[in-house]
A and B are shown apart, each in its own frame.
Chain A
Amino acid sequence: MRILTTWIVSFGLAFGSVGSLGDVPMTKWGKPGLQGNWDFRTVTPFQRPAAFADKEFLTSEEVDEFEAAVIAGREARAAADFDGEFDQQDLDVGYNQFYLDQGTRMTTTMRTSQLIYPENGRMPAMTERGRETAAYFRALQSRSPEGPEDRNLYDRCIIGFNAGPPMRSGAYNNIMKLVQTEDHVAIMVEMVNDHRIIPTGNSSADLPDDMRLWKGDSRGSWDGDTFVVTTKNFTHLSRFSGTGESMVLTEKFTRLDDQRLEYEWTVEDLEMFEDKFTAVVEMQLTEDDVYEYACHEANYAMPLMLSGARKQEANGEQDDTWLPSWSR
């Protein structure tokens, strides 16, 4: 609590005393304060569920019902009485509710999905090229891994499954640190502890097209009170939701009040998808710390997977269960 009190007082001194935009803290240099640790957990579905087909918003009563149903579902799974007949789903995700940390609340927009474009709240169709590429990677990850490169980037601890960019609520570690100076904004997501250092003034040139980065190259600028970040130069392996190296990501960070940060992002990759797609959530300022997530250092799964694959080969066994059941 002492840490918390000190932090709040310091934060107030640094950001609260130089003018305001309603309840929005401002920096010494006149921009909305973005700095802090931000919690982006939400139970709002990424895509609009079929049950809400043409319904973009819920009533507050419906939000309560939805949240209660999510929690009830988790409790039912946590209390399941296993009879020894384990199915593949039990093996695929070796986490119980102790480890999962997906939040309990919908975003305060009361939307039925995080996706707001296309208007139906569903992902746009893939192009033929997008489908072919997705099938290639699916086949790669379905087979007994010949080396670490066959597994996805999350298994390899190269990028985090919810760290993007863009960031998207996932199973756990849904928290990020935002550090703000006049010239740069740093975003560090707890999942794999990856960071982006984003210049705020569009002062430096874009990277040459042939220089590709796992999490792309980000450039920022202020559009009024919104911090806009454009990210390009992704590798062909980065593949956020099936995108390719042509992906252009536009993120908009808008401080709504002293506790909330609106995070809207748009992905455009017309090589892989027939249309762009846009999502919006609100992140909550949190007093929790962002901890070190030493993923690669403790990646016991990778040598075990590879050892298992070699053992199966030696035994002449075929195994078609390398894709987890939730992604089949």
Chain B
Amino acid sequence: MKKNKAPLFVLFLLSLGFLQSCTQEQTSESIGSEMVTSSGPPDLSGIWQAVNAASWNLEGHTASKMPVTRIMGALGGIPAGMSVVEGEEIPYLPEALARREENRANWNNLDPVAKCYIPGIPRSTYMPWPFQILQTDTEIFIAYEFGSNSRTIFMDRPGTEAPLPSWMGYSLGNWEDGTLVVNVTKQVPDTWLDASGNYHGPNLVVEERYTLLGENHIQYEATIDDPDVFSRPWKIKIPLYRRMENDARLLEYKCVEFGEDLLYDHLRKGYDGPKALDGSLR
């Protein structure tokens, strides 16, 4: 019996297409050294944003109410999210965990970001606002939309130390097999890691790793080491997505004018609201 070879040929073409698409996918999603071009390290330039609920809580959490739900309804709730912490939970020392719980209980009045203070690193990376990377040989400049904050990653200063502590810390970068590795030191202890009271002390050291996965994704990892607060170094892992719109650009989120309501409302003329919600600034 003569076989009709047409279906087989079509199958063959489809298989080729499938294999080709697999190859493309594999190539575009290859990590690390495979993305290194002959002209130098991967180009991380562009506008990026995390798309998850890590800024609310790095650990896994269900949706919950906020104080503003009474005036904003469903717009004011905290969205649920899976843990981005390797091993699910942050390894606090016992006394430090108690401090975290105190922070959490008074979160909306104590969170430095609610006051529009600089979020620090790594929190700036997974805030729900985009940031833009400008990459040069000697320094990598990251501009964050939140608060119009920014920081410089020095690529040409190995072994140097920060002249003084700061909210964004001192960032030294180098390339390791196509991954941008950034050592961040000397952050003031006033920043938090998320909006759930997770915090650190003055001896925090963060090692960030930015690995380009294809054209439009970065795998972001940060190892957080602070022996005063945690029993061991721990790691978070978050994908970053390129903002793809044709007119994507950083706009302004000058949060001072919003933070002022929290910080100074009780000092306004004619203010008749609560004088103190929690014994802190109010």
List A residues at the B interface (Cβ < 8 Å): 2-3, 6-7, 9-11, 13-14, 35, 146-149, 156-158, 177, 179-181, 183-184, 186, 188, 193-195, 197, 199, 204-205, 211, 213-215, 289-292, 294, 296-297, 302-303, 306-307, 309-310, 313
Q: Report yes or no: B134 in contact with A179, Cβ–Cβ below 8 A.
A: yes
Q: Report yes or no: A35 in contact with B143, Cβ–Cβ below 8 A.
A: no
Expressed in whole angstroms, the minimum distance between the Cβ of B187 and any Cβ of chain A is 11
CB neighbours (8 Å) of A7 from chain B are 138, 156-157
CB neighbours (8 Å) of B270 from chain A are 146
Expressed in whole angstroms, the minimum distance between the Cβ of B228 and any Cβ of chain A is 22
Mask for B93-128, Cβ within 8 A of A = 1, else 0? Answer: 000000000000000000000001110000000000
Q: Report yes or no: B167 in contact with A292, Cβ–Cβ below 8 A.
A: yes
Complex Cα gap A146–B269 (Å): 5
Q: Report yes or no: A179 in contact with B141, Cβ–Cβ below 8 A.
A: yes
CB neighbours (8 Å) of A195 from chain B are 143, 148, 150
Q: Report yes or no: B157 in contact with A3, Cβ–Cβ below 8 A.
A: yes
Expressed in whole angstroms, the minimum distance between the Cβ of B59 and any Cβ of chain A is 27
Expressed in whole angstroms, the minimum distance between the Cβ of A296 and any Cβ of chain B is 5
Q: Report yes or no: B156 in contact with A310, Cβ–Cβ below 8 A.
A: no
Expressed in whole angstroms, the minimum distance between the Cβ of A18 and any Cβ of chain B is 12
Q: Report yes or no: B139 in contact with A179, Cβ–Cβ below 8 A.
A: yes
Least CB separation from B268: chain A residue: A147
Expressed in whole angstroms, the minimum distance between the Cβ of B142 and any Cβ of chain A is 10
Q: Report yes or no: B249 in contact with A197, Cβ–Cβ below 8 A.
A: yes
Q: Report yes or no: A197 in contact with B137, Cβ–Cβ below 8 A.
A: no
Secondary structure class of chain A's binding surface, majority of residues: mixed
Secondary structure class of chain B's binding surface, majority of residues: loop
CB neighbours (8 Å) of A158 from chain B are 254, 256-257
Q: Report yes or no: A306 in contact with B134, Cβ–Cβ below 8 A.
A: no
Mask for B162-202, Cβ within 8 A of A = 1, else 0? Answer: 01101110000000000000000000001000000000000
Expressed in whole angstroms, the minimum distance between the Cβ of B79 and any Cβ of chain A is 27
Q: Report yes or no: B118 in contact with A294, Cβ–Cβ below 8 A.
A: yes
Expressed in whole angstroms, the minimum distance between the Cβ of A101 and any Cβ of chain B is 16
A13, A297, A302: the one contacting B117 at CB < 8 Å is: A297
Please, could you name 21 A-B residue pairs with CB atoms under 8 Å apart, sorted by A?
A13-B137, A35-B138, A146-B270, A147-B268, A148-B260, A158-B256, A158-B257, A179-B134, A179-B136, A186-B150, A204-B249, A205-B247, A211-B251, A214-B252, A214-B254, A292-B167, A294-B117, A294-B167, A302-B263, A307-B267, A309-B267
Q: Report yes or no: B263 in contact with A213, Cβ–Cβ below 8 A.
A: no
B250 contacts the other chain (CB 8 A): yes
B223 contacts the other chain (CB 8 A): no
Expressed in whole angstroms, the minimum distance between the Cβ of B191 and any Cβ of chain A is 10
Further contacts, 16 of them, CB under 8 A, given A14-B137, A177-B152, A179-B141 = A14-B136, A35-B138, A146-B270, A158-B254, A177-B141, A183-B45, A186-B143, A186-B150, A188-B143, A193-B149, A204-B246, A213-B251, A292-B167, A296-B116, A297-B190, A306-B264
CB neighbours (8 Å) of B263 from chain A are 302-303
Q: Report yes or no: B247 in contact with A204, Cβ–Cβ below 8 A.
A: yes
Least CB separation from A293: chain B residue: B166
Q: Report yes or no: A296 in contact with B259, Cβ–Cβ below 8 A.
A: yes
CB neighbours (8 Å) of B157 from chain A are 3, 6-7
Expressed in whole angstroms, the minimum distance between the Cβ of B16 and any Cβ of chain A is 37
Complex Cα gap A158–B252 (Å): 11
B132 contacts the other chain (CB 8 A): yes
Complex Cα gap A211–B141 (Å): 26
CB neighbours (8 Å) of B247 from chain A are 204-205
Complex Cα gap A297–B191 (Å): 11
B163, B166, B268: the one contacting A146 at CB < 8 Å is: B268
Q: Report yes or no: A10 in contact with B166, Cβ–Cβ below 8 A.
A: no
CB neighbours (8 Å) of B149 from chain A are 193
Complex Cα gap A3–B154 (Å): 10
CB neighbours (8 Å) of A292 from chain B are 118, 166-168
Complex Cα gap A312–B12 (Å): 87
Complex Cα gap A193–B118 (Å): 11
Expressed in whole angstroms, the minimum distance between the Cβ of B196 and any Cβ of chain A is 21
Closest 3 A-B residue pairs measured CB to CB?
A306-B267, A146-B269, A10-B156
Complex Cα gap A181–B45 (Å): 9
Expressed in whole angstroms, the minimum distance between the Cβ of B136 and any Cβ of chain A is 6
Expressed in whole angstroms, the minimum distance between the Cβ of B38 and any Cβ of chain A is 15
Q: Report yes or no: B136 in contact with A180, Cβ–Cβ below 8 A.
A: yes
CB neighbours (8 Å) of A10 from chain B are 137-138, 155-156
Expressed in whole angstroms, the minimum distance between the Cβ of B261 and any Cβ of chain A is 9
B28 contacts the other chain (CB 8 A): no
Expressed in whole angstroms, the minimum distance between the Cβ of B234 and any Cβ of chain A is 26
B118, B135, B136, B150: the one contacting A297 at CB < 8 Å is: B118
Expressed in whole angstroms, the minimum distance between the Cβ of A149 and any Cβ of chain B is 8
